[in-house]
Structure 1
Amino acid sequence: MRPGDGGRRMGSAGDVDGWIVERSAAELTEPFTFVVGMDGVLRLAPRRSEHVACAGGDMVLGAGEIGFTREAGRWIVREVSNQSTGYCPDVSSWAEVARALDAVGLGRPSRFTHEVVFRRCPDCQEHNIVREGDFVCVFCGGDLPTAWNVDPGA
């Protein structure tokens, strides 16, 4: 996928099935890139695609990585995260991701299977991934806020 190319819009379980069967066996062993656009629609792209390219450069309601498995003759979500350094979505974006997955009829877990906590440092403005509850900037040592603040409007 080249920058500027959008991910494939998924309007139904059939769309997801059609997209997945186009993937190679090797691709199916890894999660894919996904975004939920401002229209609430799920978009999928191969794993090494940038989330911003998957979204066609637009803002999103959610983004991360997603993996599927075949169960009882249909595809279901095996794993899903908010891991996107392009958008740094809050874990609260799960509600929008779940709504988009439900809209296309995909079985899914009850929450992200892997949550990433992103924060922007108020001192140096760098984006951080908070590990093990340590809200300290890895770049300047400043304190990171406990509430999500990556969006400049936040």
Structure 2
Amino acid sequence: MAGGSRFRQADRLAAVEGYAYVGPDDIRAAAVDQPPGTPVRSPADLDRWLTARPRAELAEPFTYVVDLTGTLCLAPRRSEHVACASGARVLAAGEIGFERARTGWTVRESSNQSTGYCPDVTCWPALASALHRAGLPAPEGFTHEVVFRRCEGCGERAVVREDDYVCVLCGARLPGKWNFGR
């Protein structure tokens, strides 16, 4: 029960402040000249955007952010999340893939994989809410969760793999809790 209340508290913080971009400054600077993500507010918006994509792109997940208004924004996979978000804070960021079903598009895969924003796994409710608001069915959770931590030894962004909370760059122990700040 305590874990659940901790996640709800983290969700409330994210909903108020969102996640700031924590990636490299050169990527942030280059993103200024890239187009922002396309807002998806309805099934028709998603259908228009996906059917305009080359067929080969549909097999891969896309870059997404959920902006501070709770709107899902999409961009091609190799787009930077910071560009998709126009440099702003986000409620969630990662990758998302879709497949066509008899009743319309459904989410095939989703993650919080964004090394620019390094969102906590607790950002799932923001993505689920954005999908719901756009009239799209949401799965039960991410199909792939990424655990991000900032190494307190060398300051680098780290991905925790197989519950091994050790920085691969400097060997320092990584914190048990998400620690990028808001």
TM-score (norm 2): 0.80
1:12 aligns with 2:42: yes
| Distance in 2, Cα, partners of 1:27 & 1:113 | 19
1:147 aligns with 2:177: yes
| Distance in 2, Cα, partners of 1:67 & 1:18 | 15
Residues 32 and 45 in structure 1, CA contact (< 8 A), matched pair in contact too: yes
* Secondary structure at 1:123 match in 2: coil
Where does residue 86 of structure 2 map in the other structure?
Answer: 56
- For each residue in 1:72-119, what CA deviation from the matched residue of structure 2 results, as whole angstroms up to 9, or x when unmatched? 130011100000111011100001111001111112210000000000
| Distance in 2, Cα, partners of 1:108 & 1:51 | 21
Residues 120 and 128 in structure 1, CA contact (< 8 A), matched pair in contact too: yes
Flag as ranges the 4+ runs of structure 1 deviating above 6 A. none
Where does residue 126 of structure 1 map in the other structure?
Answer: 156
| Distance in 1, Cα, partners of 2:138 & 2:97 | 10
Where does residue 87 of structure 1 map in the other structure?
Answer: 117
Where does residue 142 of structure 2 map in the other structure?
Answer: 112
Unaligned stretches of 5+ residues in structure 1: none
1:102 aligns with 2:132: yes
The percent of aligned pairs where both chains have the same amino acid is 57
| Distance in 2, Cα, partners of 1:43 & 1:115 | 19
Which letter maps to 1:85? T
Structure having greater relative contact order (Cα 8 Å, sep ≥ 6): 2
CA-based RMSD:
1.1
Q: Paired residues, what number? A: 151
Cα shift at 1:142: 1.0
Structure with the larger helix share? 2
| Distance in 1, Cα, partners of 2:144 & 2:126 | 16
